[in-house]
Structure 1
Amino acid sequence: MKFKNLSLLALCLAIGFVSCKKDDESEVTVVPPRDRTEQQAADMDSLQKYLQSHYYNKAEIEAALPNIGINDIKILELTGDETVPDGYELLETAVGAPIDTTYADTEYQYYVLKINQGGGYNSPTVADDIQILYEGFTLGDVVFDSKYYPDSNPLDLTSLIPGWRFVIPKYNVSESFADNGDGTVSFSNSGVGVMFLPSGLAYFSSATGSIAAYSPLVFKFELLQMGQNDHDGDGVPTYLEGLTVNTDEDTYADAYGYLYPRYDYIDTDDDGDGVLTKNEITVRTVKGASVEVVKSEPLDADEVLLNYIAKNSEGEFVGTVIKLYDTNANEIPDYLESDIKINYSL
């Protein structure tokens, strides 16, 4: 199961319920979502109680670093008068202070147990594809979804619950991987942790599968690899375009005729000037013997070195540089300004 943001589905369902009437024309009562700020306070209380009543196998994990996976993390509940055993640590102590963020015009806090940063030289952005192992469970320690073995199906962070977009980009991918010769692949020194999310950074008011509405959730995760996303193939990666920016304010209709914003990351002509975005920028590659050499490449005016660096078959590190022309020096790239129509590909 993918952790998709169900807010759009919830909105559609709410509209559908409001529209439907019984034969006697009486309206169906729709219960509005809870206040996000009030629910966040309740969720933080629940998360704190969970952290105060659970511990993990700290000594075992530290002894096995850096090659740790989600199956190595054991989270146990204190029962009765039990105290935390030697070699273990209370989660409340291990996670430290909560992390602050803002989502849906609400101030949120969440917790992360950091196990391993990851030894790779790339970290995903909020818009990238990730190859990841995970286990998701409720505060009742009931597992509702998991992925314990790598496969060929990446997850797109833009389609996942918001908490993942806040946490996963803070980690690096695996340092290396090896083909085991039996159809499986082993990864070493991956980014590993556990996130403790309030419902507002998960599914909030939307119940899904065995997850009840307004449920705080816990996820163990092991970040293996990433791929940079350019959802519309216009040459500008999604993380530079943003997920809610719509420069020319255009729309598109679905199969039912409903209109939706055509955000820049799914728009091949972001400013609507008739010149495709990919023709209003130029791209070049940079090669070097190390990541540091690539990152030290001198850049011309309006050039940007993209965050993802690859490694080719010859062992060279390869970066991508795009030039976002700004001919009138107003700090708005030409591809976002409809009054400027220059095809730089010619």
Structure 2
Amino acid sequence: MRLRKIALITLCIVTCFLSCNKDDDTEEIVVEVNDRTEQEVIDNGLLIDYLETHYYNSSEFESITNPTIADLVITELIDGEVPDGHTLFKNGDVLEVDEKTIVYADTKYTYYVLNLNQGGDIKSPTFADNVVMLYEGFTLDNEVFDSAVNPVEIDLIGTSTALNPGVIVGWRRVLPDFNVAEDFAENGDGTVSFLNQGIGVMFLPSGLAYFSNSLTGIPAYSPLIFKFELLQTTENDHDGDGIPSHIEDLSGDGEVTVNYDDLTDETDDDTDGDRLPNYLDSDDDGDGVLTINELERITYVVYTNQGEQEPVLNEKIEFELERSDNAGVITIKTLKIVDSDNNDIDDHLDKDVTTNYSE
């Protein structure tokens, strides 16, 4: 059974909301904005200390046929001895978690991920997709500040305001490294159980979380920890222009952003300078022709009843728009990025080209 079908069921059992958003109980507290590089050094030290002083029930967790984050127990090391069947996150020079680094906001960040289960499907989200998941977030004091015990759908890009920072950067960097659940089953009580889902724990510095923002239960400059189960993902096209949102990351930095202060910023993802990032702009180059109409329309008819194989699309330049299957005859309609004048600028990003493939 294809996981995409779970969307209909999920809508019946969950309320969709953004990760760790505090719309009603967020308190705005003005704090001094620290230097990101200096704060990263402090945060990494705190995370290392946590990893060296906490362990989890590794043997018990691994023995469970289809474990969940509810089965994962993290305990603080008190007397200096880790019980049998448990694993310290960092034992001397040995890390039981994956150490990863990224550059964000001109700062090199280190974060840590415990991969408890990769996930049984071949599908993984991109940084710009929607995910269905369970999670529990807590501070280094092991105080839980937010959780989702029922599946919730989250847009990994999210939206941000002064009072609501939106989905944190760390989620966009960690979740794409996991696969979604292999399958699901409907229970007699109306709930759904997932099989072989992606399960992990992320340990994030404040710079990949809420940084200087102080939210209810989360002091400013707090490194955060999240247990999570990745259940399902859906590819996003936020502006409906036919190009998946993750493709509209022009700089390739894993973000879709606009620098309102510096129009020459190389990480800027706004082609026409209207201060609307391309993933939210239906006319990326501002030439008066909608982006979706500057993509070439291609239709494939595949006779699978005669042994024909579906075409393999280059997912970076050609995107499936619609498909139908009629007695073994599959019709696939796609949109393809083109450079009609061969100037190394795609038509939808070239204001001097107004080819309209819808005509």
Confirm or deny a common fold (TM above 0.5).
yes
Which residue of 196, 204, 214 maps to 1:197? 204
Q: Give the deviation of 1:312 after TM superposition.
A: 8.9
Instruction: Name the CA distance, whole Å, in 1 between partners of 2:219 and 2:330.
Output: 46
Q: Does 1:87 align with 2:94?
A: no
Instruction: Name the CA distance, whole Å, in 2 between partners of 1:209 and 1:199.
Output: 15
Unaligned 5+ segments in structure 1 are 7-12, 15-29, 251-260
Q: Is the CA contact 1:202–1:217 (under 8 Å) kept in the aligned structure 2?
A: yes
Unaligned 5+ segments in structure 2 are 1-16, 23-27, 159-166, 250-255, 258-268
Secondary structure of the residue aligned to 1:34 is coil
Q: Give the deviation of 1:297 after TM superposition.
A: 3.1
Secondary structure of the residue aligned to 2:157 is helix
Q: Which moved more, 1:331-340 or 1:296-305?
A: 296-305
Q: Is the CA contact 2:138–2:144 (under 8 Å) kept in the aligned structure 1?
A: yes
Instruction: Name the CA distance, whole Å, in 2 between partners of 1:200 and 1:332.
Output: 35
Q: Which position in structure 2 is the counterpart of 1:184?
A: 191
Q: Does 1:37 align with 2:53?
A: no
Q: Which position in structure 2 is the counterpart of 1:58?
A: 58
Q: Which amino acid aligns with 1:323?
A: K
Q: Which amino acid aligns with 1:338?
A: K
Which residue of 263, 266, 270 maps to 1:246? 270
Instruction: Name the CA distance, whole Å, in 1 between partners of 2:245 and 2:113.
Output: 26
Larger helix share, 1 or 2: 1
The 1:321–1:73 alpha-carbon spacing in structure 2 relative to 1, beyond 3 Å, is farther
Q: Which position in structure 1 is the counterpart of 2:285?
A: 271
Secondary structure of the residue aligned to 2:146 is strand
Could you list the per-position Cα deviations for residues 184-233 of structure 1 after superposition, in whole angstroms to 9, with x for gaps in the alignment?
11110101000000000000000011100000000000000011111111
Q: Which amino acid aligns with 1:74?
A: V
Q: How many residues end up aligned between the 2 structures?
A: 307
The 5-angstrom pairing of residues 47-196 of structure 1 reads 47-65=47-65, 67-79=66-78, 81-92=79-90, 93=94, 95-96=96-97, 98-150=99-151, 153-159=152-158, 160-196=167-203
Secondary structure of the residue aligned to 2:171 is helix
Q: Give the deviation of 1:34 after TM superposition.
A: 0.4
Q: Does 1:2 align with 2:1?
A: no
The 1:39–1:312 alpha-carbon spacing in structure 2 relative to 1, beyond 3 Å, is farther
Q: Give the deviation of 1:98 after TM superposition.
A: 1.9
TM-score of the aligned structures, taking structure 1 as reference length: 0.79
Q: Compute the RMSD of aligned alpha carbons.
A: 3.4
Q: Give the deviation of 1:148 after TM superposition.
A: 1.3
The 1:201–1:301 alpha-carbon spacing in structure 2 relative to 1, beyond 3 Å, is closer
Identity %: 49
